[in-house]
Amino acid sequence: MRDRIYLCLAHMSGKEQDFIKEAFDTNWVVPMGPNVNAFEKDLENFVNKRVEINPETGATVGEENPLDKKVVCLSAGTAAVHLALIACGVKAGDEVLVQSFTFCASSHPITYLGATPVFIDSERESWNMDPDLLEEAIKDRIEKTGKKPKAIIPVALYGMPYKIDRIMEIANRYDIPVIEDGAEGFGSMFNGQSLGTFGEYGVLSFNGNKMITTSGGGALICPDEEKAKEILWYATQARESYPYYQHESIGYNYRMSNICAGIGRGQMTVLDDHISHHKHVQELYCELLKDVEGITMHGNPAPEFDSNFWLCTATLDPSLKIKGQENAYKQVITGAVGGAAGVTHAATTSVTDCQPNDNVEALRMALDAANVEARPLWKPMHKQPVYRDAPAYLNGVSEDLFKVGICLPAGPYVKEEDVRYIVDIIKENIDTGK
């Protein structure tokens, strides 16, 4: 039986144990410490690099002046979104414009604060926030509510950059801060600049399935030292400078531990290798599937886009017939699908009003039977029951993609032979009618 091939699991470098041992040896087993400080510096060195890009080919032609962003390490990417919203002044009754085609961690922190997410649909090139709909929503919310939304959250879906040049132009014109959700896009760039460094704040995630991991954890890219200190203050229970515990604002226990940061320091030594590997896997999928009618890999739409290809995604033509398609959605799922940890709430029905096409589910089941983890694309937030009453500005793109899209394994443990095996399984399960 072939070992299971997972979508994306971070790969250990061997250096992690050295930094963890150092933390134990020095008794820094707390949510702060030398590893945290050093990891933040490593992250700053990485995200602040800028290179000049040939606009026609996308090739690097030289280095530009580096940025001077500051990074604060936190317990999760979700915590980073939460604190960025607080720093942008979001309060109960406010509205925040957020990409609909994303994971719930992009929008849930808005509701933590009693604010309302306003969902923006995607454009077809990058699959990310549609700038035209964004501006339409800003104008309409001002007209309807009498005030501007307090922040804009675009998302680097599966590592693909958003059209940040247009988003920033619109945001600056209306004076609305941008919080870039680059949780899936660590190492992705737009015009030679790291995602997360264009807006006021940038969110990173180091969950176990991301480009690098600290087992759990995240970070917030901040515009300057003053803002970073404010975020750090909120992340450490908002304690005032007295010899006793004095609290004049509500804070949170969001600081990354010294142990987790030690893992992160080791992971930084393999980050470039991970990014190169993911890009290589993407190229191999494209090559092996290029002649398979009805399956299209999603790639960089233009030279200025440089995705890390955290996950490799494909769309299936609705007319494509997959073997076993007639059995799709016939029974309620009883376990976690796609490696979703902590799924404990059993569904009451096998179908919903918005789900992938039968051929997508049939292919997922066929790959699962072959010990290959695959999953559908994120279900748009505006179609989630919990957000049924939230305002949304739609063009149908995210729903269309959700119905036809699938994620394929791309992590550091995925070898060339695995990609060939996966593609063979896909081809074997296409029903040609012969």
260 and 278 in a single domain? The answer is no
pLDDT in tens, 153-189: 999 999 999 999 999 999 999 999 999 999 999 999 9
Specify if 333 maps to a domain. yes
pLDDT (tens digit, 9 = 90+) per residue, 351-372?
898 999 999 999 999 999 999 9
Domain's final residue, options 268, 284, 317: 268
* Statement to judge: residues 235 and 149 lie in one domain: yes
CATH code of 219's domain: 3.40.640.10
pLDDT digits (tens, 9 = 90+) for 368-411: 999 999 999 999 999 999 999 999 999 999 999 999 999 999 99
Give the pLDDT confidence score for residue 338 in this predicted structure. 46
Provide the pLDDT confidence category of residue 336 given band limits of 50, 70 and 90: low
**Is residue 7 situated within a structural domain?**
no
State whether 58 and 194 are in the same domain.
yes
Q: How far apart are CA 27 and CA 194, in angstroms?
A: 35
Question: pLDDT tens across 246-298, in order?
Answer: 999 999 999 999 999 999 999 999 999 999 999 999 999 999 999 999 999 99
Average pLDDT score over residue span 100-115? 98
**Percent of the chain whose pLDDT exceeds 90:** 82
**What pLDDT score was predicted for residue 362?**
97
* pLDDT exceeds 70 at position 342: no
Is the domain of 315 the same as that of 234? no
Q: Which residue segment(s) compose the domain that 299 sits in?
A: 271-428
Work out the average pLDDT over 414-426.
97
At residue 409, the pLDDT reads: 97
User: Do 195 and 314 reside in the same domain of the chain?
Assistant: no
| Residues 285 and 231 both lie in one domain | no
221 and 279 in a single domain? The answer is: no
Q: Which pLDDT score is estimated for 185?
A: 98
353 shares a domain with 406: yes
More confident of the two residues 345 and 42:
42
Query: Do 241 and 303 belong together in one domain?
Result: no
pLDDT of residue 333 exceeding 80: no
Question: What's the pLDDT at 28?
Answer: 64
- What is the count of structural domains for the chain? 2
Please indicate, yes or no, if residue 9 is contained in any of the structural domains: no
Model pLDDT for residues 207-218, shown as the tens digit of each residue: 989 999 998 899
pLDDT at 345: 66
**pLDDT classification of 341: cutoffs 50, 70, 90:** low
Do 253 and 369 share a domain, yes or no? no
Flag whether 412 is in a domain. yes
| Domain assignment present for 345 | yes
Q: Which of 204, 221, 185, 230 is nearest to 68 (CA)?
A: 221
| Inside any domain, residue 1 | no
Which stretch of 2-6, 134-138, 296-300, 378-382 has the lowest confidence by average pLDDT?
2-6
Final residue in a domain of this structure, among 268, 285, 305: 268
Mean pLDDT (the chain) is 93
Q: What average pLDDT does the segment 142-148 reach? A: 98
| Last residue of one domain, picked from the residues 241, 268, 295 | 268
Q: Are residues 264 and 281 in the same domain?
A: no
Query: Would residue 2 count as lying in a domain?
Result: no
| Residues 307 and 203 both lie in one domain | no
Q: What is the CATH number of the domain that holds 368?
A: 3.90.1150.10
Read off the pLDDT of each residue in 59-69 and give the average, rounded to a whole number.
84
Q: How confident is the model at residue 330 (pLDDT cuts 50, 70, 90)?
A: confident
Most confident of 14-18, 147-151, 327-331: 147-151
What integer is the mean pLDDT of 121-141?
98
pLDDT band at 426 (very low <50, low <70, confident <90, very high): very high
Domain contains 130: yes
Q: Which of 109-118, 209-218, 228-237, 416-425 has the lowest mean pLDDT?
A: 209-218
- Confidence band (pLDDT; 50, 70, 90) for 55? confident
